[in-house]
Amino acid sequence: MKNLKLVAARPDFSRSIVTVQGVEFGRGFVVIAGPCSVETEKQTIETAIAVKKAGALMLRGGAFKPRTSPYAFQGLGLKGLKILDKAKKETGLPIVTEVVDTRDVSWVGEYADILQIGARNMQNFSLLREVGKSGKPILLKRGMYSTLEEWLNCAEYILAEGNPNVILCERGIRTFETYTRNTLDLSMVPAVHKETHLPIIVDPSHGTGILSMIEPMSLAALMAGANGLEIEVHIDPESALSDKDQQLTVPQFERLMRKLDRAKAFLDSLDAEFADKAGGNGGGDADKTDNGIEAKIFADAVD
């Protein structure tokens, strides 16, 4: 991949840490949770309290919703941002919310701790430059038709404006398969770790669109080496104004978080064990491959 002057992987495959209000992306495993859309103060704050209790480190919630139809619910806008702000004050959870217009970057950035660039705007280069200039941490979703190379070039747009705080998010691509809402491409996790130093998280909610798949795909994402997840949770999914079929209930989310906790602890012990072995025998044959691929990246895959 050429022209990736700023986002290309380092020789030692170390990962950049993007720190947001004390939350570190690229170290540990960060779960962002919250409703698809901010709908009411009650819905947002109750969900925020619940996901925090379950272990989420950040709150997501859309105030500007890109919708296929102009007649669908478009989000509450400023009112939604104010609700998110209350939820943050209530819980201490930093806020991730989408920005869709260059004119909004500055004032939405007053409320958001991370600005999200949605899949449909991945190649909205004006917006990328504007969020680059803002210096805010950016969550850059993969476009649903985008190659890895295009995606990383979009990150390069942001870094080229002097903003190194980019977190990538795989959220599924469009294929011929209609069973799932999108095809969640978990192979992007090791691919991103090989080609760039930026952290990557996974969105299994949009990536599958099917409630029962969120738990297994979340565990799979963790094991593939993801640095975190973004998951839709709603206190009452059936009443949701958008994405009602893919938002977890609070009990489902609690259960998932308990499983993820166990799985993360297991993965840490696995990495420690194999790092030891590698160290113990002086680097170890297992770390050298016969095919010229650095085995090092296996060990780093989950860092």
Of 7 and 20, nearer to a copy of itself (C-beta) is: 7
Binding mask 182-211 for a copy of itself (x = CB under 8 A): -xxxxx-xxx--x------------xx-xx
Two structure tokens written together for 105: 């970057």
Of 40 and 102, nearer to a copy of itself (C-beta) is: 102
Q: DSSP E strands: which ranges in the chain?
A: 18-20, 23-25, 30-34, 58-60, 95-98, 114-117, 138-141, 166-170, 200-202, 228-232
**How far is Cα 138 from Cα 168, in angstroms, rounded to an integer?**
8
**How far is Cα 210 from Cα 206, in angstroms, rounded to an integer?**
8
Residues 91-130 touching a copy of itself, rule: CB under 8 A, are 100-103, 120-121, 123-126
Only segment of 36-44, 88-96, 108-116, 215-223 that touches a copy of itself (CB under 8 A): 215-223
Of 86 and 293, nearer to a copy of itself (C-beta) is: 293
Q: How far is the CB of 22 from a copy of itself (least distance, A)?
A: 28
Binding mask 252-271 for a copy of itself (x = CB under 8 A): x-xx--xx--xx--x---x-
Q: How far is the CB of 98 from a copy of itself (least distance, A)?
A: 11
Instruction: Please state the separation of Cα 110 from the chain's center in Å.
Output: 21
**How far is Cα 97 from Cα 37, in angstroms, rounded to an integer?**
10
Of 27 and 296, nearer to a copy of itself (C-beta) is: 296
In terms of Cβ atoms closer than 10 Å to its own Cβ (0-12, 13-18, 19+), residue 290 is: exposed
Of 20 and 257, nearer to a copy of itself (C-beta) is: 257
Only segment of 32-40, 44-52, 84-92, 222-230 that touches a copy of itself (CB under 8 A): 222-230
42 forms part of the interface with a copy of itself (CB under 8 A) = no
Binds a copy of itself by CB under 8 A, chosen from 19, 145, 272, 281: 145
CA dihedral 68, 74, 75, 79 (to 10 degrees): 160
Size of the site for a copy of itself (CB under 8 A): 94
**How far is Cα 141 from Cα 121, in angstroms, rounded to an integer?**
9
Q: How far is the CB of 15 from a copy of itself (least distance, A)?
A: 14
Burial 154-183 (b: 16+ CB within 10 A, else e): bbbbbbeeebbbbbbbbbbbeeeeeeebbb
Residues 164-183 touching a copy of itself, rule: CB under 8 A, are 173-180, 183
Of 19 and 289, nearer to a copy of itself (C-beta) is: 289
**How far is Cα 111 from Cα 31, in angstroms, rounded to an integer?**
20
Only segment of 32-40, 42-50, 80-88, 145-153 that touches a copy of itself (CB under 8 A): 145-153
Q: What value, to the nearest 5°, has the Cα angle with vertex 163 and ends 198 and 92?
A: 80
Two structure tokens written together for 207: 């990536």
Nearest residue to 223 (alpha-carbon basis) of 272, 190, 183, 257: 190
Of 139 and 278, nearer to a copy of itself (C-beta) is: 278
290 forms part of the interface with a copy of itself (CB under 8 A) = yes
